[in-house]
Structure 1
Amino acid sequence: MILQGKGGCGKSYISSLIAQYILSKDKPLDCVDTDPVNSTFAGYKALNVRTLHLLDDDQINTRNLDTLIEWIVSADTDMVIDNGAATFVPLAHYIITNGIADLLAEMGHELIIHTVIAGGQALVDTINGFAQLAKQLPDDISFVVWLNEFYGKIIYQNKTFEEMKAYKEVKNRISSILTLPQVKEETYGLDIEEMLKLRKTFDEAINDPSLSIMTRQRLKIYRTNMFNQLDLAAVI
């Protein structure tokens, strides 16, 4: 489950990366997009993402949250769930007050929270969002932290993420740290942005003959680097 209270920090992109990685291992997968504002994840047609909006007229739809848990429990697959910024607070509250992590564990499922720390203008907000999550969610929920350097390095007050208080206080609960690296804007950056605009997976873009040979080569290199990180993180 991808959770972060800041919009536009890369949640849907990360959801798509995790989904593509799991599928590359020939594992069955179920994907869900709960973002009521921007259903970006659902735009990836190749991933067969289901939508389940958790807000009705700015109010949390508890019945749809119940439905989400039913989907998780009944799935005999890995599941990737992308959540919007608008549902960040009510979804975290629902997980806490309903003992969702324990319930899922009893039924043979493990809840892992993926969250994003983004460089640039979103840095402080995403650090605070992560700290809020770690403080509120039960201690037995583990985190995978993604450092998104696309808009800038993760440096705050001359400290890297692993030197920050937000990390040190909960480092025993962080199972992995992955990095979306800063790339050359005019090459890799442009290639990735164009791919994301079209909601294409890496496989679709790499096999698209309308793209230049070097664009496809750079996307292939980037995908390999990200999948290698996911291998080391033992995400599945």
Structure 2
Amino acid sequence: MKAANISLESSPTSETSNPPSIAGIPQKIEKRTNEIHLVLQGKGGVGKSFVATLLAEYFQDKFTDLRCYDTDPVNPTFSSYKAFGAKRMPIVVDGKLNEPAFDELLLELMDPGVSAVVDSGSTTFVALMRYLERQDAFKNLAKLGKQVVVHSIVVGGDAMAETAAGFARVVDTTPESTRIVLWLNQYRAPVALNGVPFTESDGYKAVQARVSSVIDMPESWGDLFDRDIQEMRQLRMSFNEAITGESRPGIGTPFNILQRQRFTLVQRDYFDKLWSFKV
């Protein structure tokens, strides 16, 4: 059944895309530039592409020149979202490194004024990290005036140890100039070991000074929220597309007003976190 054409009371990003007003006067956002956001984790199925799409949507109105890249040769989810125009980079072909593609990606990231969101696949994580180390890419990007931000995800449950190791690898191989944002994905289980939250563990405390922000991904928003978000992602729609029908002229959104309101609440929560942590 076609969704009723009812407008929500507020736009999906009205409270999250703009800074607070001063004396009732909205403050102008100055467009940002030269930021490289890498989503890095060696374990598949932990929410990398979800984080990449969140970042791409959040940054769309904040950067002067935003480019998106998908380096996953097996599950190129990020590039299947038309809203972000992510370019596929075949850095691994038939299980072998494609070094010219690595070079192409790095050269594009070095372009003056360019900002980017890069989604890495679990199968390319080790190869990409080795290439970045060998090329001294983080330091070279910093020398060109680029602020590099690495987003790493740690999940609860059986995959916690493996994702914690991936996070440790990121910390160990990036210079001090690189900002690290830790995402705690509690969808499967709390991110804790023997009842001790990951952020209170000795291992995390040893590297805590390197982490600029910690963003919680809740265990569940509720059955209806989870069902709707899963459907939205299966349709490869951004939050804005699901809420407003943006980029779908003549088609609009397939979701009803209650579903769109749920999307608005989830989007606002994540965008508020990104804003408050100055990501």
The TM tier, using the shorter chain, reads: over 0.9
Partner of 1:57: 94
Partner of 2:46: 9
Q: Which moved more, 1:130-139 or 1:163-172?
A: 130-139
Letter in 2 for 1:211: F
CA–CA distance in structure 1, aligned partners of residues 134 and 202 of structure 2: 27
Letter in 1 for 2:167: F
CA–CA distance in structure 1, aligned partners of residues 237 and 139 of structure 2: 36
**SS of residue matched to 2:161:** helix
User: CA contact under 8 A between 1:30 and 1:75: conserved in structure 2?
Assistant: no
Partner of 1:182: 219
Partner of 2:146: 109
Write out aligned runs for 1:17-28 (5 A).
17-25=54-62, 27-28=64-65
TM-score (norm 2): 0.80
Partner of 2:263: 219
Partner of 1:210: 254
Partner of 1:229: 273
Could you say which structure has the larger radius of gyration?
A: 2
Alignment match of 2:238 (pick from 180, 184, 201):
201
Q: Judging changes above 3 Å, is the alpha-carbon distance between structure 1 residues 115 and 108 closer, same or farther for their aligned structure 2 residues?
A: same
**SS of residue matched to 2:236:** coil
User: CA contact under 8 A between 1:7 and 1:85: conserved in structure 2?
Assistant: yes
Percent identity for Structure 1 against Structure 2: 34
Where has structure 1 moved over 6 Å in runs of 4 or more? none
Aligned length: 235
Alignment match of 2:196 (pick from 159, 174, 180):
159
TM-score (norm 1): 0.94
CA–CA distance in structure 2, aligned partners of residues 158 and 99 of structure 1: 39
CA–CA distance in structure 2, aligned partners of residues 39 and 104 of structure 1: 25
Q: Which moved more, 1:7-16 or 1:207-216?
A: 207-216
User: CA contact under 8 A between 1:92 and 1:137: conserved in structure 2?
Assistant: no
Write out aligned runs for 1:40-79 (5 A).
40-74=77-111, 76-79=113-116
CA–CA distance in structure 2, aligned partners of residues 75 and 42 of structure 1: 23
**SS of residue matched to 1:48:** coil
CA–CA distance in structure 1, aligned partners of residues 63 and 195 of structure 2: 42
User: What CA deviation, in whole Å up to 9, does each residue of 1:64-105 have, x standing for no partner?
Assistant: 111111110115232000000111111111111211111111
Residue segments in structure 1 that go unaligned for 5+ positions in a row: none
Alignment match of 1:168 (pick from 198, 201, 205):
205
**SS of residue matched to 1:152:** coil
